[in-house]
Chains A and B, each alone.
Chain A
Amino acid sequence: MSTMQLSSGEHAPTRYHPATRFGVTGFGFYVYLLTDAILFSAFFATFAVLKNATAGGPTAQALFDVKNVGLETACLLTSSFVGGLAMLAAEARRRLPLILSLCAVFLLGLGFLSLEIREFVGMIHAGAGPDRSAFLSAFFALVGLHGLHITVGLAWIIVLLIHLGTMGFSASYRRRLFCFSLFWHVLDIVWIAIFTFVYLLGVQS
């Protein structure tokens, strides 16, 4: 519709800009993230269906530690905020604040991941591994998928830190940092759904 208006020869509204590499890459990555959200929703649907299929094994109330989940949430929310600050530092081309905030995002993400791995290991040792019941299979698949994304994000931060040294504040670097920032914020949105529907509502029923 917008292109038709432009090609009709009348004076184009000022809000239409020609597509830049930044806009195209960013939009493509945004669409990828939306499909990733669809992938997650399939795992959520599976979990919701199998929530009560405990096969006589441990239930959500017996397994989940809400305090631990609160800590994980605090780590991830803070890291999302600091990730925003990293974007601001990059816009202002301030190298040290950017490095520091990326390191903070990395450490908070690592804190989240280690809390999650500790929880998983504790559950598996208590005989509540993914092979115990359909409920636990769905739980490990959903939360594990999120953890896997976080792991990829942590690797991405390391790559971003290395690239800052090699390419500096180039257009391509800004593009990569922008995509990472989108990725990290969306992972936090997925985590909101996980802690609400899996943990907080799980320990109620």
Chain B
Amino acid sequence: MTDTASHAPIHLRTPGTDVHGAAPWSSYLTGFVMAAALTAASFWLASGHLLTPASLVAALVVLAIGQMLVHLIFFLHITTAPAQKTNILALLLTLLIIALMVIGSLWIMSQLNVHMMPMDQLMQMQR
């Protein structure tokens, strides 16, 4: 997507900049078509048996990230324009917190599972 720089009117830009006005509605249409195609691909891959389970997980994760990017770029109009630096920084910080929380939880809980005695043996010991 071409960056509209600081002079061109930009509509629904995420804030951090006060530049707004009428935006290309083709941006929304492009985003809608791309998001629909990616979503259809997700459901199609998940319902078929084309891929092995491991590669299916990878494919679905990649498709999900792609869809989120399409939404961010074409619907929320987040760009790498200098005027949007604040937005991008806030978004990156949020992504860091989310990654720490999700990966950290999964890591700690799987370690606990590995190191803990199976529940039935634990019950035996407590008797």
Report which A residues bind B (CB closer than 8 A): 14-15, 17-20, 22-31, 34-35, 37-38, 41-42, 44-46, 48-49, 66, 70, 73, 77-78, 80-81, 84-85, 87-88, 91-92, 178, 181-182, 185-186, 188-189, 192-193, 195-197, 200-201, 203-205
Given contacts A23-B16, A26-B15, A88-B23, 10 further A-B contacts (CB under 8 A): A17-B19, A22-B15, A34-B91, A81-B31, A84-B75, A85-B25, A185-B71, A189-B68, A192-B71, A205-B53
Residues of B within 8 A of A31 (CB): 90
B68, A44: Cβ atoms under 8 Å?
A: no
A88, B71: Cβ atoms under 8 Å?
A: no
B93 nearest CB across to chain A (Å):
8
A200, B60: Cβ atoms under 8 Å?
A: yes
A92, B22: Cβ atoms under 8 Å?
A: yes
Residues of B within 8 A of A204 (CB): 46, 53, 56-57
B35, A77: Cβ atoms under 8 Å?
A: yes
B100 nearest CB across to chain A (Å):
9
Say yes or no: A66-B46 contact (C-beta < 8 A), given A19-B18, A189-B68, A200-B60. Answer: yes
A185, B61: Cβ atoms under 8 Å?
A: no
A41, B28: Cβ atoms under 8 Å?
A: no
Q: Which of A46, A189, A205 contacts B72, CB < 8 Å? A: A189
Residues of B within 8 A of A181 (CB): 12
B96 nearest CB across to chain A (Å):
10
A45, B94: Cβ atoms under 8 Å?
A: no
A188 to B38, CA, bound (A): 14
A205 to B54, CA, bound (A): 10
A197 to B61, CA, bound (A): 8
Say yes or no: A42-B90 contact (C-beta < 8 A), given A27-B15, A77-B36, A196-B42. Answer: no
Name 29 A/B residue pairs within 8 A (Cβ), A-sorted. Answer: A15-B17, A17-B17, A19-B18, A24-B15, A26-B14, A29-B15, A30-B14, A34-B90, A38-B94, A38-B98, A41-B101, A45-B105, A77-B32, A77-B35, A77-B36, A84-B28, A85-B28, A88-B11, A88-B22, A88-B23, A91-B11, A92-B22, A178-B12, A182-B12, A182-B14, A192-B68, A193-B68, A195-B42, A204-B57
B108 nearest CB across to chain A (Å):
9
Residue of B at shortest CB range from A178?
Answer: B12
A17, B28: Cβ atoms under 8 Å?
A: no
A34 to B68, CA, bound (A): 14
Say yes or no: A45-B101 contact (C-beta < 8 A), given A66-B47, A91-B11. Answer: yes
B101, A38: Cβ atoms under 8 Å?
A: yes
